[in-house]
Amino acid sequence: MTVAKFGIGARLRRKEDQALVTGRGRYTADIVPDGAALGIVVRSPVAHARFRLTGVEAARRAPGVLDVVTAKDVADLGPLPCRGMYENADGSMPPVPPYPVLPADTVRHVGESVAMVVADTLAEARDAADMIALDFEQLPCIVGLEEALAPDAPVLWPHIGTNLAIDAAHGDKQATDDAFARADRVISLKLFNNRIVANFLEPRGAVGAYDAASGRYTLTCGSQGVHILRPVLADDMFRVPRDKMHVITPDVGGGFGTKIFTYREYALVLFAAKRIGRPVAWVADRMEHFLADYHGRDHVSYAELALGADARFLGIRVETIANLGAYLGQMALFIAANGAGMVPGCYRTPAVYARVRGAYTNTVPVDAYRGAGRPEAAYLIERLVDKAALELGLQPDEIRRRNFITPADMPYTTPTGRTYDTGDFATHMDAAMELADWSRFAERRRDSEEHGLLRGIGMATYIEACAGGGPEYAAIEIDETGGATLFAGTQTNGQGHHTAYAQLASAQLGIDPANITVVQGDSERIPRGFGTGGSRSIPVGGVSVYRAAEKLAERIKARAADRLEAAAADLELADSKVRIVGTDRSVALSEIVQAMPAEERTEAQDWEPSAPTFPNGTHIAEVEVDPETGGVSILRYCVVDDFGTVLNPLLLEGQVHGGIAQGIGQAVLERTVYDQESGQLVTASLMDYCLPRADDLPSFSFDIRNIASATNALGMKGAGEAGAIGSCPAVVNAIVNALHTAAGVAHVDMPATPEAIWRVLREARRA
């Protein structure tokens, strides 16, 4: 690869940040057009009920009201689809209940949309919305995971006859049962993976417009890819040709998976815009985010580990119930079931069987959230391995070292069918232990004990599958000044794509990244794309960018060869010049471009990965626990990762730090609580739901031990979700280490809040 000073490996600062941090970002709410009508969504106050709306006609007559949209009005629109289908263990496909734009007569969770009011002003829309009420007949509700699958549980979907949404499996049940039958020791653990609300900085919003002359809809909204939304809206819901559905995404303030999806409000603003002949805008407040945007995680698992006399792993057996909420989200079945395929983790385990059952409950639907199934698998196996170390009297690094898949085993296919191409797990574990000063932990523990505090240290060695999916599109157009415009089918949500893609193009074209404009988020200007998710933008979209730039560079060299009287193979592009390698003979890039026909100045490429990549690493957390209050302080945090080829270390560190912060939030702070009897969301605002703040987080020590991916064209593995995957088990393992030393505690569930730890310690002391 040609490496320029701004190219692959350079620590280039983000070029987009100047606008974003000085208030010049352009988010959905910033570009509501003058004269747009404003919408308010009427939401259900109850979790499960048959209903009819009252006050609709009064609302329609209220001052400034332009439209009131109800289920009857949108009955001809198709339902939201479930695109991430997944087979049951018996090979059958799960039934998909209808997910209408608005429900006609039954609501199934608190906050479910039942109508939209559109008015000249937001105040008028809100006043009219207050006139609409639900006349309802309460139905029994169910919010608990295990309770939902009980034989006598109230059923959400009578035509299905059960709350069981999917019953999937990975691995070989008989081989796993045989392994347990010959085991010398079996370690068991029940654990919860708590429900999470995404809480991105920018709440969702949407602006719908309709052009009657062309019959064309335009939706502007924050998303993770316009080409993810467009097929759902055009094919499934409005049933119009795709060229009649224009989707635009401006700046986006965070996504974390939750903004991948098409939501009811997107269809509603488009429908209302057509009816009233004006653009219609809707922007959520934070409470609507809690009540209407897909949640994440929410599993209960029963895990067992079979070991031989030498503490070698013989088998892993898992039973998981995943909460899917009231409806199937667009990737919900896939996220719930597929992630369990990563249960083997970094370990050579001959037999694995993981069964996953999804359950309907009267709660907000659950779908992809940062990591999307892999954090759940990593948390399960890393907590199970640590518990085994406790029961066997082994150090956490020793039990891992005995059972790691080694570099000599690569490529290695797990019993669940994942083929790891590269990895050296012991090396990054050793490096992380050195970075964390593990050998001197006992001294630091004694210091804490002198102050009446409990100190613990915990590690997690993780591996994840990412950078898969379909082909990604990129195109580069170079102009007569020697600058370039780059079109990408992915969508930045704050990751730094404008900088990263400009670096990749710069590596081939020799143009300063400041002179490369990156365009995303417009289904007219960009013909196709798979979108952002699964840590795939740079490892997949980046390859498309790099190859398009490479093709364009070859064409420019061929054109410059005659001018410089040299072979094209002897030329390089750098500093906006084409020059003969090793000499000072050069010509300005702009001169060559000006002599090229317009059609030769553009190059487009699609690249599709042949297999996922497998980033991996070791996280180590060190904590202090106050036994009197249960309060946890994270004192040190070290991580050593293997991400393959690194494009920009600054962007990489930012992604890792952000993921760790989210994982720490889940481990010790964040908790989504529903009232068991009424189905009300108790934690429906930031007054009740605790997000991590700066003083909850330590400084992070980060290092890499990279091995290039064998399946990615640039050797990249992906890094966007890794921090959120390794952090939860590392933090909980550290807390358990502190509590076990003091009181024999072997497990604490997330979130390990002060109250939860105080109760666990009190029970342990009583015992």
Q: Does residue 479 fall inside a structural domain? A: yes
SS3 assignment, position 455: strand
Q: Does residue 394 fall inside a structural domain? A: no
Q: Does residue 74 fall inside a structural domain? A: no
pLDDT at 237: 98
Does 750 share its domain with 622? yes
pLDDT at 675: 98
Does 637 share its domain with 603? no
> Residues near 509 by Cβ (< 8 Å), separated by ≥ 6?
476, 478, 484, 549, 552, 553, 556, 573, 589
Does 454 share its domain with 476? no
The ranges of the chain with pLDDT < 50 are 1-3
> Residues near 279 by Cβ (< 8 Å), separated by ≥ 6?
32, 33, 35, 36, 37, 207, 208, 209, 273
Does 574 share its domain with 663? no
pLDDT at 1: 41
Does 490 share its domain with 625? no
Q: Does residue 284 fall inside a structural domain? A: no
Q: Are 315 and 351 spatial neighbours (Cβ–Cβ below 8 Å)?
A: yes
pLDDT at 247: 98
Q: Please say which residue of 607, 641, 671 terminates a domain.
A: 607
Does 448 share its domain with 488? no
Does 620 share its domain with 635? yes
Q: Dihedral, CA atoms, 166, 171, 176, 178, nearest 10 degrees?
A: 110
Does 632 share its domain with 710? yes
Q: Which two tokens stand for residue 457?
A: 């240290």
Give the residue among 398, 410, 404, 399 at the shortest CA–CA distance from 349: 404
Tell me if the bond preceding 751 is cis, omega within 30° of 0: yes
Q: Are 639 and 701 spatial neighbours (Cβ–Cβ below 8 Å)?
A: yes
- The enclosing domain of 725 has a CATH number of 3.30.365.10
Q: Does residue 263 fall inside a structural domain? A: no
Q: Please say which residue of 574, 591, 607 terminates a domain.
A: 607
pLDDT at 7: 79
- Which H, E and C letters describe 264-332, residue by residue? HHHHHHHHHHHHHCCCEEEECCHHHHHHHCCEECCEEEEEEEEECCCCCEEEEEEEEEEEEECCCCCCH
Does 657 share its domain with 746? yes
Q: Does residue 599 fall inside a structural domain? A: yes
Provide the number of structural domains found in the chain.
2
Q: Which two tokens stand for residue 152?
A: 């006598």
Residue 575, exposed/middle/buried by CB under 10 A (0-12, 13-18, 19+)?
middle
pLDDT at 2: 43
Q: Are 249 and 226 spatial neighbours (Cβ–Cβ below 8 Å)?
A: yes
Does 519 share its domain with 539? yes
| pTM for the predicted model, two decimal places | 0.97
Q: Does residue 543 fall inside a structural domain? A: yes
pLDDT at 3: 44
Does 735 share its domain with 633? yes
User: Angle between the 396-403 and 374-392 helix axes, to the nearest 10 degrees?
Assistant: 110
Give the residue among 339, 353, 350, 320 at the shortest CA–CA distance from 146: 320
CA atoms within 13 A on the CB side of 708: 7
Q: Please say which residue of 580, 607, 634 terminates a domain.
A: 607
Q: Does residue 109 fall inside a structural domain? A: no
Does 489 share its domain with 546? yes
The per-type count for the chain, helices as H runs and strands as E runs, is 19, 28
Q: Which domain holds residue 433?
A: 421-467+612-766
- Which residues are paired to 649 by β-bridges? none
